[in-house]
Amino acid sequence: MKLLLAIVNNDDSARAASALTDHGFFVTKLSTTGGFLMVGNTTLLIGIDDDKVDEVKAILKKHCTTRKQAASPTESLGRGLRRDSLPTQVAVGGATVFVLNVEETMKI
């Protein structure tokens, strides 16, 4: 058995979780905050059999797209307008997926 931890953008989380449950997977959603842009993310916890890992990763890849977004650096707040304080384009979205081995699982 495996536990997949998928960290996805909040904009993608509802579509990804719905697609996973439509395919019969159980999903637990946790609200999390990323460290780089300090924006909300969703961490999905998905417990699955070993042979379903590729199927879950394919669903996540389909519903968690990478896109460009303007972001203002927070370190320049209060210092006035400077060249490095202008918004820049950063890549957001996609998913970071961790696949962990599970020794035991039980429902109580």
Per-domain boundaries in the chain? 2-64+94-101
CATH assignment, 2-64+94-101: 3.30.70.120
CA quadruple 87, 93, 94, 98: dihedral, nearest 10? 100
CA angle centred on 11, ends 102 and 72, rounded to 5°:
110
Whether residue 76 is predicted with pLDDT greater than 50 in this model: the reply is: no
Whether residue 69 is predicted with pLDDT greater than 70 in this model: the reply is: no
Structure confidence at residue 3 (pLDDT): 97
* DSSP secondary structure code for residue 20 in this structure: H
Q: Report the 3 state secondary structure along 59-98.
A: HHHHHCCEEEEEECCHHHCCCCCCHHHCCEEEEEECEEEE
Structure confidence at residue 4 (pLDDT): 97
Whether residue 59 is predicted with pLDDT greater than 90 in this model: the reply is: yes
Residue pair 48/25 in contact by the 8 Å Cβ criterion: yes
Q: Model pTM?
A: 0.75
